[in-house]
């Protein structure tokens, strides 16, 4: 079910969101992969995670203007906490201005050293990491560093969820997490896939139970929340 919070956008909010997306896209083209806010279909898919309603700590990477952030907050327990890490200063200001939920801490930082950011802001290892960062915009070293940072930060059995328009993330994540569960969101603009990985509970192991083989068919990259 689509969250009530995610549905509560006013016309003013939509206008501000579009302006922020365009301004930040022009200034940070590599960090902002789309000027189109996340669709309700994507928000529904992200919110449909049983672990969200049971977790205590969630990290969101690349929250953008906060559409996905609202959905996450709406599904989280009342005593859970959300750390939103965003590289674009404009988006951090939007998050802090538009979302007043006390469970949210929005910070401007590079997510590639997630452990350090968690420590600075007094967050424990997360149960879930949700990422909107476009891995197709990262070079090999950057993609590998970010994925390792996410894997190392998660609790054993924790979940890594990311939504992407291309499959670049698989080349990094499958070596650490194993196979992904995937869901196609055809009515997003443009269409995308949601990937879900679970960190093994035994150190050094990867999960092989999930079942879809890597695919090579991509749609054009361009993404943001």
pLDDT of residue 206: 79
Domain that holds residue 96: 32-198
pLDDT of residue 178: 97
pLDDT of residue 16: 56
Residue 206 lies in a domain: no
Residue 2 lies in a domain: no
Q: Which residues of 184-213 are buried (b: 16+ CB within 10 A; e: fewer)?
A: ebeebeeebbbbbbbbbeeeeebbeebeee
Q: Which pLDDT band, with edges at 50, 70 and 90, does 58 fall under?
A: very high
Number of domains making up the chain: 1
Residue 76 lies in a domain: yes
* pTM over the 0.95 mark: no
Q: pLDDT tens, 68-112?
A: 999 999 999 999 999 999 999 999 999 999 999 999 999 999 999
Residue 23 lies in a domain: no
Residue 129 lies in a domain: yes
Question: What is each CA distance from 51 to 4, 90, 191, in whole angstroms?
Answer: 19, 30, 25
What is the CATH classification number for the domain harbouring 38?
Answer: 3.40.50.150
């Amino acid at each position: 079910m689509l969250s009530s919070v995610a549905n509560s956008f006013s016309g003013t909010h939509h206008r501000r969101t579009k302006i922020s997306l365009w301004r930040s896209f022009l200034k940070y083209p590599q960090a902002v992969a789309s000027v189109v806010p996340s669709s309700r279909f994507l928000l529904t898919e992200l919110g449909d995670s049983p672990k969200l309603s049971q977790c205590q700590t969630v990290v969101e990477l690349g929250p953008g203007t906060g559409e996905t952030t609202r959905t996450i907050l709406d599904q989280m327990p009342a005593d859970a906490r959300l750390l939103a890490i965003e590289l674009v200063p404009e988006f951090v200001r939007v998050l802090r201005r538009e979302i007043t939920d006390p469970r949210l801490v929005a910070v401007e930082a590079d997510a590639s050293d997630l452990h350090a950011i968690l420590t600075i802001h007094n967050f424990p290892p997360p149960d879930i990491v949700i990422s909107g960062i476009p891995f197709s915009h990262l070079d090999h070293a950057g993609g590998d560093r970010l994925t390792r940072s996410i894997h190392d930060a998660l609790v054993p059995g924790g979940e890594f969820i990311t939504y992407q328009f291309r499959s670049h993330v698989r080349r990094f994540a499958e070596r650490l997490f194993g196979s992904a569960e995937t869901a196609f969101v055809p009515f997003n603009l443009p269409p995308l896939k949601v990937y879900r990985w679970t960190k093994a509970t035994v150190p050094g192991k990867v999960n092989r139970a999930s079942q879809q083989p890597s695919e090579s068919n991509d749609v054009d990259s361009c993404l943001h929340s």
